[in-house]
Amino acid sequence: MKIIILKSNLQKILNIIQKIITKNPKLPILENILIEIENKKIKISATNLELGLNIWLKGKIEGSGKVCIPINLISNIINNSKDERIELNIENLNLIIKSDNYNAIIKGYDYNDFPIIPNLNTILLSIKNKEKENILEISTKELKELIFQLENIATISETHPELSGIYLKFKKDEIEAVVTDSIRLGIKKIKIKNNIFINKNIILPLISFNELIQILNLQEYENVKIIINDNQIVFDFGDIYFVSRLINGNYPNYEQIIPKEFNVILKLNKQEFINQLKLVSLFTSNNNDIKLEILNKENKIKLISQIQQGSSNALINADIEGRGLDNIILNYKFILDGLNNIKDKNNIIFKIQNESTPVLIEGLEKDNFVYILMPIKS
């Protein structure tokens, strides 16, 4: 088999694939990729048994065949090659790489040992309900937006693995995506394109979340088809097929911590608040704590910070509704994370019940994203 392909196209794909492959002394086959021809296209596959990727590429193809080779070797060769035209030849279990001024032979593994990545038909057959309630389609633009607004909140938790991912709660005609690290909570809603109700809620691992970012940054896709069974989820982009295991476990009842009533509502200019917050943060301790004081008479809020080396404060204009709130202490880094995730470039809303309950932050222009932050106990 002979393949001629552009270096730039192959390089992008290998860089995405490499992120899911890790050293595995017990199963060295997992440190390899499988290259084969399928439907007159070049197919490259990789898996770590938790995630699986099939990617189809165009190129000039002669003959057929398969080869299983180490990802690190081919990636380093392609990344360092100065030639745009790359020729790949398969002979027995080996891959021969040729360019204008370079030749290499990579000894491959037996491709029959490469794990099978369940294809779409296998996933569909495994769905208990055959009426396609577990198949939906969403806009990749909305998916990108969801990831942008939630990616910096999720974190890996050894003690609570159910928190190490994104919770997808399916409602009528929409998905409610939730992430939390137990101190802050992000909620984003997006519409389901084909108006299908999914009678299932799932937890998508954080590593899968990160891989989706790489795929979506590769090129523009209009929509993505999503298929869910009892323990797996598939994202089908057409020329990229991504399958991931789901996290087993019960997600915390996040709805019970969302305040339903508020005593004070603040409307602030987003950029002014960010600028002053950064200045005040120069005098914060390891807790990153700043004090927020509400000045009703002046229609301002005051940000206050103090450490052994000094102190600072800043005034910010605010539209204030409500009274009866003393100082509230918040982690300034977590505030900045929330503000950066809000799409509204002009104004933000702080909704506060009291000094010890979560603060709700959102944009004045509603974009179906809410950020909730626990205050620091004084």
Question: 291-323 pLDDT, tens per residue?
Answer: 999 999 999 999 999 999 999 999 999 999 998
CA pair distance 308, 232, nearest whole angstrom: 52
The pLDDT of residue 126 is 67
**128 has pLDDT over 60:** no
Whole-angstrom distance, CA of residue 147 vs CA of residue 216: 10
pLDDT exceeds cutoff 90 at 284 = yes
Model confidence band, residue 224 (pLDDT cutoffs 50, 70, 90): very high
Mean pLDDT of 44-54: 95
Residues in the chain: 378
Give the pLDDT score at 197.
63
pTM of the model: 0.88
Question: According to the model, what pLDDT value does residue 84 have?
Answer: 94
What pLDDT is attached to residue 196? 66
In this predicted structure, what is the pLDDT of residue 204?
94
pLDDT of residue 378 exceeding 80, the answer is no
pLDDT at 130 over 60: no
pLDDT of residue 120: 74
Q: Give the mean model confidence (pLDDT) for residues 158-171.
A: 86
Residue recorded with tokens 């994370």: 337
Share of the chain above pLDDT 70, in %: 96
Q: What is the mean pLDDT of residues 201-215?
A: 91
- Report the pLDDT value the prediction gives residue 26, as an integer from 0 to 100: 87
Reported as a single tens digit per residue, the pLDDT across 171-181 is: 878 899 999 98
Asked whether 147 and 210 are in contact (CB, 8 A), the reply is no
Q: Using pLDDT thresholds of 50, 70 and 90, give the confidence band for residue 6.
A: very high
**Order of strands, sheet of 32-38, starting from the edge strand that comes earlier in the sequence:** 66-70, 32-38, 41-47, 51-57, 240-245, 232-236, 223-228, 135-139
| 243 in Cβ contact with 232 (< 8 Å) | yes
The closest of 55, 54, 51, 96 to 77, measured between CA atoms, is 96
In the block, tokens 């860089």 appear at 15
Rounded-to-integer distance, Cα 321 and Cα 313, Å: 22
Query: In the 8-state DSSP scheme, what is residue 375?
Result: P
Q: At residue 132, does pLDDT exceed 60?
A: no
Report the pLDDT value the prediction gives residue 171, as an integer from 0 to 100. 80
- 219 pLDDT higher than 90: no
Mean predicted confidence (pLDDT) in 23-42: 91
Rounded Cα distance between 250 and 355, Å, is: 30
Segment 17-42 shows an average pLDDT of 91
